[in-house]
Amino acid sequence: MKKLMRIALAVVIALTLLGSLPIPVRAESDPVDLVLGGEGATSWQIANIAPGQSGAKTVTLHNAGYADGWVTIWITDIQETDYAGDGAWLDDYVVFNASGDRLRTNLSLPVKIRELPQNATGKPNYLMIELLKAGETITLIWHWNFLAEAGNKVQGDSFSFTINYRLEELPPPPVYYESPPIYYVETNLFGLVENYRISYSGEILKTIEVSSKDGILTISIPKDTIALDKDGRRLENLKVAVDESPPLPPKDAHIIGLAYNFGPSGATFDPGLTLTWRYDPEVLPERVKEENLVLAYYDQEAGKWMEIEYLVDTEKNTITASINHFTTFAIIGYEVVSPPVIPPPPPVPPVLPEPIPIPPSPPPPKPTPPTPSVTPVPPVSPVPTPAEETNWPLIGGIIAGVLVISSISYFVIRRRRAKKG
């Protein structure tokens, strides 16, 4: 009996001595089961550790519910013991880190225990597992390190704390309001490269106005102009440059200044873009006047220059036009051609009227025969010879005929002259 009592006493003493031995790091068992809205915790105690020591502790989190969630993590119940009473605290020399899938934090780990989140609000610091699916288990590893700089300051000190876990309901998925894409048309106008905003449908969003380096040509594309390529899609690039070898001008014409090539070919504009071309009247070719200047483009299919509607300002010495397609454009000056000298027509010989026949004179009256001399006799009254009668109807008919012939001749002569005139 005494022997059994001695054995029992030895066991009690052994257990007492074993319980009095310091335990460096101790935490509750895994796993930590969580349900939506529920909490779990792990209590830790750190004591009897030497400077420079480090270690790790694994915690398993299990979603025991039926809904997915996210886990927020925070620290509570920090308690410290300063055995030496020197005012040095162990938690000032132990730093913590954590690692695991889907772990998110705004902290620059490792940190001291009091720098870890101290509440579940996530303010000002947060430590969380962004997703723990229903029935899923995830592993979280805690790393600790006792800084060597502590020396003997905290010998025999200890502290404990609780790490809390709460499974939160997932927030609704964020709604991303995607901003509309931004499109640009790249321009190379007279060697100046720029990018201008354009809508998906080809609408120019800001007025484009550029002049050549010599100020001769100015291009203006108003805001809201629809600029499309040959396939009807928004225009992606635009180029205007000097045409070093333009097509020959028409006969008796000159290209005034420089010709410019507009590209890409087939590009269209609605409304048309505006060209303002300047010219120097003092250097116009001989026999080319300002009023004979035109603005034209070269038609590749027709193989010739085609005039467009334009406005010449002889005071400002400019030509302005609106164009809605791209090709080669230039000012064309036509020479003033003197009209040929036409010799006067030869004189027309006068048309003489036909001679009018003169009617014959009537025959003279027959002379009265002389009276023979006779012996005077007693006077006897002479009996006169009756005069011959005048044929008046004949004379009237002749005169009438002459008048008719004269009238006919007069009208014939006038008609011939009218035809020749």
Write out the DSSP string of 242-253: E-SSPPPPPTTE
Q: What's the pLDDT at 329?
A: 93
Comparing C-alpha atoms, which of 51, 74, 99 is closest to residue 166?
74
Q: What is the pLDDT of residues 51-69, one digit of tens each?
A: 888 888 899 999 999 999 9
Q: Enter the tokens of residue 357.
A: 């026949």
Q: Are 186 and 236 in contact (CB under 8 A)?
A: yes
Q: What pLDDT band is residue 398 in, cutting at 50, 70 and 90?
A: confident
Q: What's the pLDDT at 23?
A: 38
Mean of the pLDDT values across residues 319-340? 85
Alpha-carbon distance of 275 to 312, in angstroms, equals 12
- The domains of the chain are located at 22-169, 183-335
Q: What's the pLDDT at 26?
A: 42
Q: Are 22 and 3 in contact (CB under 8 A)?
A: no
Alpha-carbon distance of 264 to 230, in angstroms, equals 8
Comparing C-alpha atoms, which of 26, 31, 28, 29 is closest to residue 138?
31
More confident residue, 175 or 240: 240
Dihedral angle of Cα 200, 206, 207, 211, to the nearest 10 degrees: -90
Alpha-carbon distance of 398 to 15, in angstroms, equals 187
Q: For the beta carbon of residue 140, count every other beta carbon within 10 angstroms.
A: 24
Q: Which CATH number fits domain 183-335: 3.40.50.720, 2.60.220.50, 1.10.220.150, 1.20.58.100?
A: 2.60.220.50
Alpha-carbon distance of 47 to 291, in angstroms, equals 105
Q: Are 75 and 94 in contact (CB under 8 A)?
A: no
Alpha-carbon distance of 331 to 353, in angstroms, equals 63
Alpha-carbon distance of 340 to 41, in angstroms, equals 115
Confidence (pTM): 0.41
Q: Are 204 and 227 in contact (CB under 8 A)?
A: yes
Q: What pLDDT band is residue 19 in, cutting at 50, 70 and 90?
A: very low
Comparing C-alpha atoms, which of 78, 98, 75 is closest to residue 89?
78
| Location of structure tokens 């993590």 | 73
Q: Enter the tokens of residue 321.
A: 């036009």
Q: What's the pLDDT at 91?
A: 79
Q: Enter the tokens of residue 156.
A: 């025999």
Q: For the beta carbon of residue 127, count every other beta carbon within 10 angstroms.
A: 22
| Location of structure tokens 């969003």 | 205
Query: Exposed (0-12), middle (13-18) or buried (19+): which is 29, by Cβ within 10 Å?
Result: exposed
Alpha-carbon distance of 219 to 354, in angstroms, equals 79
Of the ranges 20-24, 176-180, 298-302, which is most confident? Answer: 298-302
Q: Which of 51-65, 155-169, 222-236, 396-410 has the lowest mean pLDDT?
A: 396-410
Q: Are 253 and 334 in contact (CB under 8 A)?
A: yes
Comparing C-alpha atoms, which of 24, 155, 160 is closest to residue 82?
155
Q: What is the pLDDT of residues 266-278, one digit of tens each?
A: 899 999 999 999 9
Comparing C-alpha atoms, which of 303, 323, 334 is closest to residue 260?
323
Q: What pLDDT band is residue 321 in, cutting at 50, 70 and 90?
A: very high
